[in-house]
Structure 1
């Protein structure tokens, strides 16, 4: 006959299972938070120029030439006290093409500009959209919260789609 397990092993198994579940939830929750904070951090580098325009030089740029990663053109200011510039640099993306005019905000201390208006705001938050998509996988798979994962993925897809359509 096989001796019976001691009665004390059942509670220790429940405790071990609880500790493992808590560890998984804590680590996956921390990873999710880290991904989302990184997405906001990456987006905020451009977004604060576009969203907080008070006191910044605003105007338009007519893109005249594009290289591998940037485009250039003359800057025409629309805010009082701003000076026209013969050449400013804008990041090249799928939406920036030579010969087109864009509303822009000048980054302080240089000749680099970023798009403004709804298209600029949405484009600035594209890194957050990627973080939302990545976090949705962690939330759905690692935390087992499928509905919340679908919500995060839907928000990321909506943001990417809106940025693409306004581009």
Structure 2
């Protein structure tokens, strides 16, 4: 009978390892997706050296975008009659925002603390989602609470600044 006990313990260990591997992979993929989604905008806002920066005065808003004249602030930047910014809860007609121009066009993204925090909002959501996987699938509650706390702080800060 001892061989049945040993094989049962081996099966339990294999299942536990499989659960840890699967849930760890899911958590890591969620975090990678959050960074990937954030980095598309964040690198324009955070790595501003050599980029044109200035302000946009929003004069028109459509369904998905807003536009207005661009006033340069950085050396080498030129004024533009109209640039386009993504329409979201943080952009309102009649307001002026500091922006950075994306290379190769007339599309801009918000800069400064508001732009940085807004760019990292997808990572904040990914941290919250991954914390559930870490708590339930990996049974690492302390780590899950830290991840959830960081995600909540990031989202709250972005909401407060915007």
Say whether 1:42 aligns with 2:37: yes
Output the CA distance in 1 between the equivalents of 2:7 and 2:149. Answer: 41
The RMSD of aligned alpha carbons is 0.7
Give the drift of 1:7: 2.1
Match of 1:26 in 2: 21
Determine the C-alpha separation between the residues in 2 that align with 1:41 and 1:53. Answer: 19
Q: Does 1:64 align with 2:63?
A: no
Q: In the aligned structure 2, how far is the partner of 1:122 from the partner of 1:69?
A: 21
Aligned position for 1:141: 136
Separation (CA, whole Å) in 1 of partners of 2:124 and 2:87: 19
1:151 Cα deviation from its structure 2 partner: 1.1
Matched, 1:111 2:95: no
Structure 2: gaps spanning 5 or more residues: none
Once structures 1 and 2 are overlaid, which stretch shifts more, 126-135 or 142-151? 142-151
Kindly indicate whether residue 119 of structure 2 is the aligned counterpart of residue 124 of structure 1: yes
Q: Deviations over 1:95-132 (max 9, x none)?
A: 11011110000000011000000000000000101110
* Normalised TM-score (structure 1): 0.95
Contiguous gaps of at least 5 residues in structure 1:
1-5
Cα distance between partner residues in 2 of 1:144 and 1:153: 14
Structure 2 match to 1:100? 95
For 1:121 and 1:21, how far apart are their aligned partners in 2?
A: 40
**What is the count of residue pairs matched by the alignment?**
162
Runs (4 or more) in structure 1 with deviation over 6 Å come to none
Structure with higher Rg: it is 1
Q: TM-score, normalised by structure 2?
A: 0.98
